[in-house]
Homo-oligomer: A and B are copies of this chain.
Amino acid sequence: MSQLDAQWFAEVSDMWPGRALAINCRKKLVDCQTPYQHIELYETTDCGKMLVLDDVIQFTEDDEFAYQEMLAHLPLFSHPDPRNILVIGGGDGGVLREVARHDSVEHIDLCEIDAKVVEVCRQYVPSMACGFDDPRVAVTIGDGFQFIRDHRNCYDVIIVDSSDPIGPGEKLFGDEFYALMKEAIKPDGIIATQGESFFMHWQVVRDLMQVVRRHYRYSTYCYMMVPTYPGGTLGVCLGSQQRDVTVPCRRPSPELQAQLRYYTPEIHRAAQILPAFGERVVYEGGGGYNRNASGN
């Protein structure tokens, strides 16, 4: 019945039971186990390169722009003068590429736990790893949790580009990490974190937004559409002690806007307008969309 031959990679996971996106692959370029995760990189037939960590698709080259642009530009355009930026995770370089588009940025720290992810993307995915070439970027290979703990009151924006809360990304979804980020940003700084999908992971989104609201006076949840993520959407949580993160305070220059394929000031606002059930998940602790979901 499945009609799929051995060329296809199917993303089977308990995180989205009974559903699996399958991608037709021409060739497996990398297959290795690191101390942190199983890394696979494929050349697909129709989606460009594809990175898979522990059997979960992290990006396909064709649609990665949606996630990278929103995760980077939502917080950066909410800040009038972002200069010092920290990226946790993001070892593919895609977020760096987007952050580097902002002329105000003077320094970008990136802390990625797995050196092999950086190495693989630098070798095979220059369209994303080009972000590492910017002279403002300083890379640390290490634990993002510890990196945050060692920094106080120094970042305008912190971006957390993590994988799902299973495996190395798990502790980046907890209360303690959000408390530490609050200390690491300046008082008017902004955090932006990978916020999962209110379709596929409504319990995670509900709990995460409760954490964000507990620590930050201003907060919001934005989604973006990414065809090769489970269910086709993913989210970003924004938080700040002093800045309203629901509206951009700067617009891209015409030259920059022409380079962007997803972010606009209009979608910055519209991405916060969720379907009725999504509003209930994020703002009222309600249940998910499927018939088995309840509010607890």
Listed in ascending order, the chain A residues whose CB lies under 8 Å from chain B are 1-10, 12, 17-25, 44-48, 61-63, 65-66, 199-200, 224-233, 257, 260-264, 266-267, 269-270, 273-277, 279, 289-291
Contact = CB atoms under 8 A, between A and B. Distances in A.
Given A19-B47, A45-B18, A260-B276, A65 B1 contact: no
A289 to B, nearest CB: 6
Contact of A291 (B8, B10, B48): B48
A70 to B, nearest CB: 9
In this complex, which of A4, A24, A65, A230 has the most chain B Cβ atoms within 10 angstroms of its Cβ? Answer: A4
A10 B23 CA distance: 11
A267 B17 CA distance: 28
Nearest to A70: B275
Contact of A5 (B2, B44, B66, B227): B2
A19 B22 contact: yes
A290 B276 CA distance: 30
13 contacts: A2-B2, A2-B8, A4-B22, A8-B10, A17-B46, A18-B47, A62-B291, A232-B232, A261-B276, A262-B275, A262-B277, A264-B273, A267-B275
A37 B12 CA distance: 30
A267 B274 contact: yes
A1 B12 contact: no
Contacts of A261: 275-277, 289
A1 to B, nearest CB: 5
A54 to B, nearest CB: 14
A10 B3 contact: yes
Contact of A289 (B18, B62, B232): B62
A19 to B, nearest CB: 6
B22 A2 contact: yes
B3 A12 contact: yes
In this complex, which of A1, A257, A270 has the most chain B Cβ atoms within 10 angstroms of its Cβ? Answer: A1
A77 B5 CA distance: 46
Contact of A2 (B6, B224, B270): B6
> Nearest 9 A-B pairs (CB), nearest first?
A232-B232, A18-B46, A270-B273, A227-B231, A18-B24, A270-B270, A18-B45, A262-B275, A62-B290
